[in-house]
Every structure is written in structure tokens, then in C-alpha cells.
């Protein structure tokens, strides 16, 4: 399949989840990305590509408040990045979901307890509501009856589904996925990609997915943005 640049999967252009205007992104005192202009709308799926070390992680860290935006304008899920104090960062992250390549599950507790830990850490107190929410997200990712499983009892694909379920717990406006299929075999990769696209479509969550796998982009076309030589730019299928 061909890539359609700027393709929206049921995206709502009237609701911008991410807006960066002439943003300069730094790691310490080093300028990593220059004059970034980027918008991502509700329900939109966007790939972020580029060589290792070009600034993909720095961009994602800026969006979830791990790097402070020093210059330019930035807004994520209604939060002004220029006014984002460390006290406000947890509030921002409650509106975001993050999916990691290496799952980062707590290995000393089962799936249900992993998810319960996150909910309690973000202010949930009612046991009934917590259990209902955990059952809901596990059902969404196809793990309805896996709550009692320990991470080491699960395949890599199942652990990644738990990671996605964790990202969904607080009904995020935006999910940032950093190489979510990097440790998975091709068949499991396809299953995870279908799941991510279904979530994007069904609950209108915006996705930004960093990846090195251009084969995924060919099989699951969506908007593509490349980071190269300190610049962020839209690309065509021929540019991948």
C-alpha cells in the first residue's frame, strides 16, 4: 500500500491535541531540533521516523514534559509547555499514554496489580471503579481473562498489550509510542499495529509512533513526519 501523507484516520481538525510553533528543542544546552512546526489532531495517527540520534526521543520527551520547551510555542492536551512547571507535569501526563519498546512492567506483580498501581498513583481510590476500569482496558486489548497472569508467564506480544492497556487507563487524549514493535516478531507486530489503529479509530485518541520499521508504514499507511538534520518535515511515500 502507498503512504498517504497527512492521512487522517477519522481525525478531528477542529481539535488540536499537539501544537508546536517555531519550537526549538534542547538537550541541556545543545540545540537538537530547530524551528519545529507541528500539529496533531484528535483521532490522528502519525509516524515519526529518523535515524538514531536525530531527535525523535527529544521531541517525545518535550511532548510529555520531560524536557522543558525553552523557545517557541507549544501546547499538548491543553497544557502550555512554556508554563509547564514540574508540579504540572503529572497533570499533563494523566492526559497522555506512553507505550514503551521494552514494556516496563513491574515483574513482581500480576497484570491486574500492574494496572491498579498506575490508577492509584494517578488518584483513583474507589476499588469498584478501579476493577471496572482494569477489566475495560484489558478487554480493549484482547486480554480480558489475563489479569492474574505474571509478566514472565506472557509472550512479548501479550506484554505489549498490557503496556497498551496501561496507556489507556486514564482515557488519554494522546498516546506516544516509542518503537512499540521493536522487540516483536512480524506476526505479532501486525497484531499490535491493528490494535493501535483500532484504538485510534474507535476512541479517537491521537497517536504519535516513533519507528525505524518502514515496512510497518507501508502496511499501515498514515501521516509520516521525518526528523533529519535538526528539522522536522512531512514526507511523501518516495521519501521514506
**End-to-end CA, the chain:** 13
Q: Is residue 7 part of a domain?
A: no
Residue 169's pLDDT is what? Answer: 93
pLDDT band at 52 (very low <50, low <70, confident <90, very high): confident
CA distance 11 to 189: 24
Residue 6 lies in a domain: no
- Record the pTM: 0.87
> Residue 102 pLDDT > 90, yes or no?
no
Contacts of residue 84, defined as CB under 8 A and 6 or more positions apart, other chains included, come to: 65, 68, 69, 92
Average pLDDT over residues 28-39: 94
- Mind listing the pLDDT tens digit for each residue in 174-192? 999 988 888 888 998 999 9
Range of the domain at 159: 12-239
* 204 vs 206: CA distance, rounded Å: 6
In a domain, 4, yes or no: no
> Is residue 147, in this structure, part of any structural domain at all?
yes
Q: Is residue 185 part of a domain?
A: yes
Q: Cell 499490535 appears where?
A: 192
CB atoms within 10 A of CB 78: 11
- Cell numbers 518535550 correspond to what residue? 62
Instruction: Kindly report, residue by residue over 103-137, the tens digit of the pLDDT.
Output: 788 889 999 999 999 999 888 999 999 999 999 99
Q: How far is the CA of 51 from the CAs of 169, 202, 217, 221, 227, in angstroms?
A: 31, 31, 15, 20, 8
How high is the pLDDT of residue 181?
A: 86
Q: What mean pLDDT is predicted for residues 79-105? A: 89
- Return d(Cα 36, Cα 52) in angstroms, integer: 18
* HEC assignment per residue over the chain: CCCCCCCCCCCEEEEEEEEEEEEEEEECCEEEEEEEEEEEEECCEEEEECCCCCCHHHHHHHHCCCCCCCEEEEEECCEEHHHCCCCCHHHHHCCEEEECCCCCCCCCCCHHHHHHHHHHHCCCCCHHHHHHHHHHHHHHCCCCCCCCCCHHHCCHHHHHHHHHHHHHCCCCCEEEEECCCCCCCHHHHHHHHHHHHHHHHHHCCEEEEECCCHHHHHHCCCEEEEEECCEEEECCHHHC
Average pLDDT along the chain: 89
Q: Is the pLDDT of residue 147 over 70?
A: yes
pLDDT of residue 81: 96
Lowest mean pLDDT of 43-57, 64-78, 90-104, 202-216, name the range. Answer: 90-104
Is residue 9 predicted with pLDDT exceeding 60?
no
CA distance 208 to 225: 10
Asked whether residue 3 is assigned to any structural domain, the reply reads no
What's the pLDDT at 101? 74
Q: Structural domain tally of the chain?
A: 1
CATH assignment at residue 179: 3.40.50.300
Q: What is the dihedral of CA 21, 171, 49, 58, to 10 degrees?
A: 60
Structural domain includes residue 1: no
What value does the mean pLDDT take over residues 211-228? Answer: 92
Amino acid at each position: 500500500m502507498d503512504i498517504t501523507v497527512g492521512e487522517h484516520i477519522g481525525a478531528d481538525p477542529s481539535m488540536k491535541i499537539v501544537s508546536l510553533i517555531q519550537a526549538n528543542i534542547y538537550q541541556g544546552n545543545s540545540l537538537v531540533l530547530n524551528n519545529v512546526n507541528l500539529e496533531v489532531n484528535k483521532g490522528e495517527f502519525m509516524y515519526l521516523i529518523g535515524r538514531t540520534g536525530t531527535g525523535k526521543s527529544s521531541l517525545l520527551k518535550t511532548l510529555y514534559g520531560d524536557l522543558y520547551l525553552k523557545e517557541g510555542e507549544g501546547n499538548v492536551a491543553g497544557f502550555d509547555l512554556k508554563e509547564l512547571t514540574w508540579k504540572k507535569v503529572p497533570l499533563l501526563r494523566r492526559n497522555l499514554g506512553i507505550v514503551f519498546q521494552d514494556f516496563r512492567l513491574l515483574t513482581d506483580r500480576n497484570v491486574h496489580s500492574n494496572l491498579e498501581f498506575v490508577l492509584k498513583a494517578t488518584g483513583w481510590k474507589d476499588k469498584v471503579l478501579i476493577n471496572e476500569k482494569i477489566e475495560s482496558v484489558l478487554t480493549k486489548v484482547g486480554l480480558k481473562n489475563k489479569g492474574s497472569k505474571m509478566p514472565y508467564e506472557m509472550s512479548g506480544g501479550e506484554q505489549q498489550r498490557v503496556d497498551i492497556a496501561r496507556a489507556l487507563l486514564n482515557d488519554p487524549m494522546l498516546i506516544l509510542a516509542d518503537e512499540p514493535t521493536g522487540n516483536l516478531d512480524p506476526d505479532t507486530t501486525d497484531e499490535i499495529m491493528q490494535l493501535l489503529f483500532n484504538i485510534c479509530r474507535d476512541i479517537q485518541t491521537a497517536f504519535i509512533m516513533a519507528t525505524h520499521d518502514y515496512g510497518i508504514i507501508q502496511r499501515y499507511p498514515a501521516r509520516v513526519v521525518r526528523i533529519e538534520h535538526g528539522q522536522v518535515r512531512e514526507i511523501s511515500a518516495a521519501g521514506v
